[in-house]
């Protein structure tokens, strides 16, 4: 069982953390993220470390929220200092995409129409100039980046027989052999 909740979070030099009631605001000179925490969770900031604690360590729900809160805070601190990036690959002869103004993605993936996806506010899209089949999604909020990447991938899920897919970079998709019972 993981004990991630007991580890303190190191706070970089320019990051400020403001706690007012149940709201936590993490700011950096350019960016700001906020999170609402549960009543039974408390935060303790000493020097350049932040620790998370709960009221009852024997309650399963509180232990679950303890680890979740610590991970969300760590993601927020990491996000405001360095952006999160997720990349996707499009693989098939007729599959194409077009990025319009870093906030609109037009996919042509075998349907009779083109699929248009508008990014949530602030998320930026970009295409690789060298590899024409790569889409990059960047932003400081990890949840929004991964959610939008999953939304793009859900347009055309991987098909293991012909190798047509929109997949995450580094994702392994096992290729399957087709039916061979009729061929002799």
Residue-level pLDDT at 76: 94
Residue-level pLDDT at 128: 83
Distance between the two ends of the chain, CA-based, in angstroms? 53
Residue-level pLDDT at 184: 59
Q: Is the distance from CB of 2 to CB of 63 less than 8 angstroms?
A: no
Q: What is the mean pLDDT of each run of 10 residues along the chain (184 residues)?
A: 79 91 91 93 91 91 91 93 93 88 89 92 87 90 94 91 90 86 63
Report the DSSP beta bridge partners of residue 136: 87, 126
Residue-level pLDDT at 151: 95
Quote the CATH superfamily of domain 4-81.
Ribosomal protein L6 (3.90.930.12)
Residue-level pLDDT at 65: 92
Residue-level pLDDT at 115: 94
**Closest C-alpha among 36, 31, 32, 69 to residue 50:** 69
Q: What phi-psi label fits residue 103: left (phi over 0), alpha (psi between -120 and 50 degrees) or beta?
A: alpha
Domain chopping of the chain, boundaries: 4-81, 84-168
What is the C-alpha to C-alpha distance for residues 155 and 6, in angstroms, rounded to an integer?
A: 39
Residue-level pLDDT at 177: 85
Q: In terms of CATH architecture, what is 84-168?
A: Alpha-Beta Complex (3.90)
Residue-level pLDDT at 164: 87
Residue-level pLDDT at 1: 54
Q: Is the distance from CB of 34 to CB of 24 less than 8 angstroms?
A: yes
What is the C-alpha to C-alpha distance for residues 154 and 51, in angstroms, rounded to an integer?
A: 37
Report the DSSP beta bridge partners of residue 41: 54
Identical topology for domains 4-81 and 84-168:
yes
The whole-model pTM stands at 0.85
Looking at residue 123, what DSSP letter applies? -
Residue-level pLDDT at 2: 66
């Amino acid at each position: 069982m993981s004990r991630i909740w007991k580890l303190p979070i190191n706070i970089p030099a320019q990051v400020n953390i403001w706690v007012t009631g149940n709201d936590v605001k993490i700011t950096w000179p350019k960016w700001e993220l906020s999170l609402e925490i549960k009543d039974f969770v408390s935060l303790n900031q000493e020097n350049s470390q932040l620790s998370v604690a709960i009221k009852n360590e024997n309650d399963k729900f509180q232990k679950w929220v303890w680890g979740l809160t610590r991970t969300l805070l760590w993601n927020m601190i990491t996000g405001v200092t360095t952006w999160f990036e997720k990349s996707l690959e499009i693989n098939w002869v007729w599959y194409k995409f077009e990025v319009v103004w870093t906030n609109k993605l037009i996919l042509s993936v075998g349907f009779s129409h083109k699929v248009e996806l508008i990014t949530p506010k602030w998320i930026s899209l970009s295409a690789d100039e060298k590899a024409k089949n790569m889409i990059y999604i960047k932003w400081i909020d990890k949840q929004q980046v991964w959610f939008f990447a999953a939304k793009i991938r859900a347009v055309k899920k991987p098909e293991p027989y012909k190798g047509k897919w929109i997949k995450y970079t580094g994702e392994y998709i096992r290729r399957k052999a087709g039916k061979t019972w009729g061929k002799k």
